[in-house]
Structure 1
Amino acid sequence: MTAYAAACKRVLRLGPELAGTRPISELAKSNGKRVYLVDTLALVRKLEAQGVESRQAQAITESMMEVLNDSMENVSGSYVSKSEMQKSEMFQENNLSMFKTEVKSSQDHHFSMLQHEMEKIKNDIEKMRSELRYEIDKVTAGQRLDLNLERGRIRDELNNQNQETTNLTTKLDREIHTLRAQLEAAKYDVIKYCIGTLASVSAVGLAVIRILM
Structure 2
Amino acid sequence: MYKVDFAQLKSEIQMLEKNDYTMMKSDISKLTAEVDKLRQKLKEEITRAQAGVRLDMNLEKGRVRDEAGAQMLKVKETNAKIEAEISNLRTQMESIKFQILQYMIGTITGTGALIMAYMRMFK
Separation of aligned partners in 1, 2:79 and 2:42:
53
Report the CA distance between 1:132 and its aligned residue.
1.8
User: Structure 2, unaligned stretches of length 5 or more?
Assistant: none
The equivalent residue for 1:161 is 71
User: Structure 1, unaligned stretches of length 5 or more?
Assistant: 1-87
Q: TM-score, normalization: structure 1?
A: 0.50
The equivalent residue for 1:121 is 31
User: Looking at CA atoms only, which structure, 1 or 2, has the larger radius of gyration?
Assistant: 1
Within a 5 Å distance, the mapping from 1:8-157 to structure 2 comes to: 92=4, 96=7, 100=11, 102-157=12-67
Between Structure 1 and Structure 2, which shows a larger proportion of helix residues?
A: 2
Could you tell me the percent identity over the aligned residues?
Answer: 31
Report the CA distance between 1:141 and its aligned residue.
2.3
Q: TM-score, normalization: structure 2?
A: 0.81
Separation of aligned partners in 2, 1:130 and 1:197:
98
The equivalent residue for 2:119 is 209
The equivalent residue for 1:192 is 102
Separation of aligned partners in 2, 1:98 and 1:186:
125
Separation of aligned partners in 1, 2:33 and 2:64:
45
Q: Flag as ranges the 4+ runs of structure 1 deviating above 4 A.
A: 95-99, 102-105
Q: Identify which of 77, 85, 91 aligns with 1:175.
A: 85
Separation of aligned partners in 2, 1:99 and 1:172:
104
Between Structure 1 and Structure 2, which shows a larger proportion of strand residues?
A: 1
Query: CA offsets per residue over residues 158-179 of structure 1, 9 Å max, x none?
Result: 2111111111111101110111
Separation of aligned partners in 2, 1:195 and 1:98:
138
* Count of aligned positions: 122
RCO higher in structure (CA 8 A, sep ≥6)? 1
Q: 154-163 vs 165-174, which deviates more?
A: 154-163
Query: CA offsets per residue over residues 101-138 of structure 1, 9 Å max, x none?
Result: x5554443332222211111111111111222222222
CA RMSD, 1 decimal: 2.6
SS of equivalent residue, structure 2 residue 63: helix
Specify the code of the residue in structure 2 equivalent to 1:203. A
